[in-house]
Amino acid sequence: MKEPMSLRERKKLATWRGIQSAALRLFDEQGYEATTVEQIAAAANVSRATFFNYFAGKDAVLLDQDPEGRLAWQDMMGARPADEPLWDSLTAILTGFCEGLRERMPLQRRLKAQSPAFAQSAQSFGEQFFTDLREWVASRAAPSDTLSATLQLNLAVAATMTAYQTWPADEPFDGFLRRLSLCLRQARPSASTG
């Protein structure tokens, strides 16, 4: 069980989220290129130095995971029943991860289309999640089942990427989730029992 956060930790988390919230609003209103670190800091009511204590740059505000995000997806992975077919677990985890990005994913996608600089930075988005997911799959697979488990993981990730890449710009986020569900159903291996 997770220990409760100290007052200092809660304040740091509130500051992190405050900076991110201000940045997301400014990016949405002004675009990525037009928004400066100084504007974000002012909107979040923090100094420029404080901004850099929390984020490496303005792209990090969009790309860094919430400090509690990793715990949330690790809990999601750990909560899957051990006897659940791997494909069903992957479907639930990937859908849950994407649902957790409801507020950021549409803006990130729009900014990637508008800003080549941001699009370049965004290539590593989700890297920690996918690393944790690979480790989780490896921990669930018997040594004799590594090939099948890795194939299922790669198919599920490809289905998720396909849903994202084919998501029309004018379609709301719920449309993306429906597309994701369809892609995961279509990609499901016929013998995905383990």
pTM: 0.80
CATH homologous superfamily of 7-63? Homeodomain-like (1.10.10.60)
Highest CATH level, class, for 69-187: mainly alpha
Taking the domains of the chain in order of start, what are their residue ranges?
7-63, 69-187
- pLDDT at res. 122: 79
pLDDT averaged over consecutive 10-residue blocks of the chain (194 residues)?
A: 78 94 93 93 96 93 84 93 96 95 88 83 82 94 92 96 93 96 94 52
- pLDDT at res. 3: 72
- pLDDT at res. 117: 79
Shortest CA distance to 86 belongs to which of 150, 135, 131, 130? Answer: 150
